[in-house]
A = this chain, B = another copy of it.
Amino acid sequence: MSEEFHFADALIEAARAKSSVVVVGLDTDPRRLPQFLLGQYPTKAEAQLAFNQAIVDAVCLIVPAVKVQIAFYELLGPAGIETYQKTISYAHSKGLLVIGDIKRGDIGSTAEAYAEAHLQGEHAADAVTVNPYLGSDGILPFLQVGRRQGRGVFALVKTSNPSSSELQDLEVTDPRQRNYEVVARKIGELGADSVGKHGYSLMGAVVGATYPAEAINLRGLLPHTFFLVPGYGAQGAKAGDVAGCFDAHRSGAVVNASRSIIYAYEKSGGASLTEIGNAAAQAAKQMTNDIADALGVHRT
């Protein structure tokens, strides 16, 4: 490659090329694998991989990226971690960008170990999520490792769950602002020197779709920070709720949905990988169109 990889640039270009800002979440719960698939493979980890490959095959021309939720692979121990890595490689082979949803947060040599484990080497994702509770010490090691290869880091800012208010929304005295705004300003600073040609940095933010007012506030605070937006679908947010996450050019954010896409087949009673894939593709297209409508994009 003559040009160096820059995650935010690559994501923006992939979203444009596919006319979609949807990220499919591979939250493939081994406790929810279809019975027919468990019968076809000797281990849950192998059935999980086959499931993921079917989803990737079905959505790879529709969406720019997938997000792989590592918790559902850790649940199967070493074999699950192998499926996690193989899922990343398979998604890459199908031209998808991959976000590793790991939400790690630690310091010093420990954080470096996490960063090297997840952002370096052949099985690495193109970006990972991190937890900001420990402050910059918990984020910088990831950003440093990521930057070597243009990979990205999304810090949790305002999460999509109900109890995110317990800490994130509390008002701080000096200067008066919410905790999530303190975190936002910090990551805005941390990302300032890795802004790509499309105006977004390698330091991103997780901003829940379930809090539209906070998302609008954050979009204003963080003009160069890409948003990864969870909470769509199964968690209740709709297309109109995510509009505020985007910039004036309808860029700067991607919206994740996991269960409403990968388990779409359950509604139609699908009993083959083809049906699972078809239902996922249909759900991903529908979500793509719903968000395009909410953003006022003229569809062809």
Contact = CB atoms under 8 A, between A and B. Distances in A.
Interface of A: 27, 29, 69, 71-72, 74-75, 77-79, 81-82, 85, 103-111, 113-114, 116-118, 123, 131-138, 156, 159-168, 170-174, 176, 179, 182-183, 186
A117 to B, nearest CB: 4
A169 B79 CA distance: 40
Contacts of A137: 161-164
What is the interface of chain A mostly: helix, strand, loop, or mixed? helix
Q: How many copies does the complex hold?
A: 2
Contact of A172 (B81, B162, B172): B172
B168 A135 contact: yes
A74 B117 contact: yes
Contact of A113 (B74, B105, B134, B162): B74
Nearest to A118: B74
Contacts of A135: 161, 163-168
29 contacts: A71-B104, A71-B117, A75-B114, A77-B81, A77-B85, A77-B117, A81-B81, A103-B104, A103-B106, A105-B105, A107-B159, A131-B131, A132-B167, A133-B156, A133-B159, A134-B161, A135-B163, A135-B168, A136-B166, A137-B161, A137-B164, A166-B182, A167-B182, A170-B179, A170-B182, A172-B172, A172-B179, A173-B173, A179-B179
